[in-house]
Structure 1
Amino acid sequence: MKNYKKILLAAAASLILTGSALAAEKLRIGTEGAYPPFNLIDNDGNVVGFDLDIAHALCEKMQVECSVVTSDWDGIIPALNAKKFDFLIASMSITEERKMAVDFTNHYYSNGLQFIAPKKSDFKVDAAGLKGKVIGAQRATIAGEWLEDNHGRNVDIKLYDTNENAYLDLATGRLDAVLADKFVNWEWLESEAGKDFEFKGQPVFEDDLIGIAVRKGNDQLRERLNKALAEILADGTYQKINEKYFPFSIY
């Protein structure tokens, strides 16, 4: 009987320790913090936005405690691989080149590229209209790559560390147009700073899926994130987050 009691006590202790370990599991979210409305730093110094709301919803589904780490865009994949955070959610396009460095979850939204320019301009989205124009884009993005691949010889391309800096130069007349993700451009056009600007032409690239990155080979975390993503899509959590930022679906 004493031995039986010892076994029960040991089993109970093991369950308590296991439960404590699960409750104490912590993950670090990596993001940029300079890409509104998807990720930005608010006036109180908190990292907020669509990406972070999605990330925290996933953490809740996975029953883990999550904190946020920011990184400059240019070094964000190296920071993930240097284990400065556990997964990366920063509106990153899933590309074949990036797949060589990291693994991606299923997409959590779909995107496209579209030009914005002054309303009063006669900016045209064709080879003749773009020739000689000064176009801004964020460095190390598919927008910058698309410009270089398709109009590198005809366009004066200016690359910026953040989209916000590109918008500043557009607003002051240093750029003829900016090419960026259409939802980020939409957010800026809705602001006071963007009131004199508009979309020009149709999106030039729409086959853009946005995923969460994990280190190569971390299949366990990737699968957990995919499962949690499926759950927030199914139970309406994703839709509520979407509606908080956009009057249309971006999935």
Structure 2
Amino acid sequence: MRVLRMAAAAVAVLAAVGGAQAKDWSKVRIGTEGAYPPFNSLTSDGQLVGFDVDIAKALCEEMKVECEFITSDWDGIIPGLQAGKYDAIIASMSITDERKQKVDFTNKYYNTPPAIAVPKDSTIAGTTDADLSGIALGAQSSTTHSNYAEEKLGSADLKLYPTPDEYKLDIASGRIDAVIDDVVVLSDWLETEDGACCKILGTLTPDPVINGEGAGIAIRKDDVELKDKFNAALEAILANGKYKEINDKYFTFDVYGG
């Protein structure tokens, strides 16, 4: 009888521990960069705006949870997730095998190709490694675009920058010859006064190993329930038209991809 009581007590303790470890997802803290327009950026009064931000808000509304946004430098955004500073990263982060070693991902929420931009008076003829041989090529560090340049465009002299703002300044002032980034990011910049210097030279064929499966939401590996909630919400906004509404606010084409 005593053994049975002890066993019952052990079960009760385990249940209490399990209950204590269960996470309350009534509030979700979302990490983003705030320096990657039109996907995420800060306005002059400190407001976060962009496609990533609107998608995050729509997903939180679908999940019926409160969203809190936290900005982070790109280089430290995954360590911040691992350290518990936020619960998810919604910052145009490509789903790659290398990143999957550190974090888990939801299904993609968009997928667009990389591109090369050059000054309008550039004599660079194309986007191949041979075309770009010896030129100074700018890219944001720790991105799939810098990885692509290192792997596929090794003949160029790659210059790495902490954010796109720095490479934009350098190409506009003639300190570098070309830049590589997402075609949407570059196209959005070219429509601004600061981007009047430059043009899209061409898009690049993504490499699935380097560029991944598209942009996904990064989650800590043990937060399976949160990942499932995001995936269900993403499926819902794709079906009910909310995703298209946000897409059409920013783009004239479908960024979800095939």
Give the TM-score normalised by structure 1: 0.87
CA distance in 2, matches of 1:221, 1:48: 23
Task: Give the C-alpha shift of residue 194 in structure 1.
Answer: 1.4
TM alignment of 1:31-50, pairs within 5 A: 31-50=32-51
CA distance in 2, matches of 1:202, 1:39: 22
In structure 1, the residue corresponding to 2:113 is in which secondary structure? strand
Task: Tell me which residue corresponds to 1:214.
Answer: 219
- Partner amino acid, structure 1, of 2:216: G
In structure 2, the residue corresponding to 1:217 is in which secondary structure? coil
Task: Tell me which residue corresponds to 1:129.
Answer: 131
CA distance in 2, matches of 1:93, 1:24: 24
CA distance in 2, matches of 1:206, 1:149: 10
CA distance in 1, matches of 2:71, 2:39: 13
| Equivalent pair of 1:35/1:184 in contact (CA under 8 Å) | yes
Task: Tell me which residue corresponds to 2:7.
Answer: none
Task: Tell me which residue corresponds to 1:166.
Answer: 167
Of stretches 125-134 and 140-149 in structure 1, the one that deviates more from structure 2 is 125-134
Task: Give the C-alpha shift of residue 206 in structure 1.
Answer: 6.5
- Deviation track 1:201-250 (CA, whole Å, cap 9, x = no partner) reads 33242654110000012110000000000111111111111111111110
In structure 1, the residue corresponding to 2:204 is in which secondary structure? strand
In structure 2, the residue corresponding to 1:129 is in which secondary structure? coil
Task: Tell me which residue corresponds to 1:3.
Answer: none
CA distance in 2, matches of 1:231, 1:52: 17
Task: Tell me which residue corresponds to 1:237.
Answer: 242
| Equivalent pair of 1:29/1:66 in contact (CA under 8 Å) | yes
Task: Give the C-alpha shift of residue 199 in structure 1.
Answer: 1.0
Task: Tell me which residue corresponds to 1:193.
Answer: 194
CA distance in 1, matches of 2:49, 2:43: 7
TM alignment of 1:138-153, pairs within 5 A: 138-152=140-154
| Equivalent pair of 1:114/1:205 in contact (CA under 8 Å) | no
| Equivalent pair of 1:117/1:177 in contact (CA under 8 Å) | yes
Task: Give the C-alpha shift of residue 24 in structure 1.
Answer: 8.9
* CA pair 24-214 structure 1, distance change in 2 beyond 3 A: closer
| Equivalent pair of 1:108/1:229 in contact (CA under 8 Å) | yes
Mind listing any 5+ residue stretches in structure 1 that lack a counterpart? 1-22
Task: Tell me which residue corresponds to 1:4.
Answer: none
| Equivalent pair of 1:37/1:184 in contact (CA under 8 Å) | yes
Task: Tell me which residue corresponds to 2:61.
Answer: 60
More strand by share: 1
CA distance in 1, matches of 2:101, 2:235: 25
CA distance in 2, matches of 1:68, 1:43: 17
In structure 2, the residue corresponding to 1:179 is in which secondary structure? strand
- Deviation track 1:159-204 (CA, whole Å, cap 9, x = no partner) reads 0000111111010001100000111011101111112311113324
CA distance in 2, matches of 1:24, 1:224: 9
| Equivalent pair of 1:92/1:212 in contact (CA under 8 Å) | yes
For the aligned residue pairs, the C-alpha RMSD in angstroms reads 1.6
Would you say how many aligned residue pairs link Structure 1 and Structure 2?
229
Task: Tell me which residue corresponds to 1:87.
Answer: 88
In structure 2, the residue corresponding to 1:147 is in which secondary structure? helix
* CA pair 206-190 structure 1, distance change in 2 beyond 3 A: farther
CA distance in 1, matches of 2:146, 2:230: 29
CA distance in 2, matches of 1:54, 1:83: 22
Give the TM-score normalised by structure 2: 0.85
Of stretches 225-234 and 194-203 in structure 1, the one that deviates more from structure 2 is 194-203
| Equivalent pair of 1:182/1:203 in contact (CA under 8 Å) | no
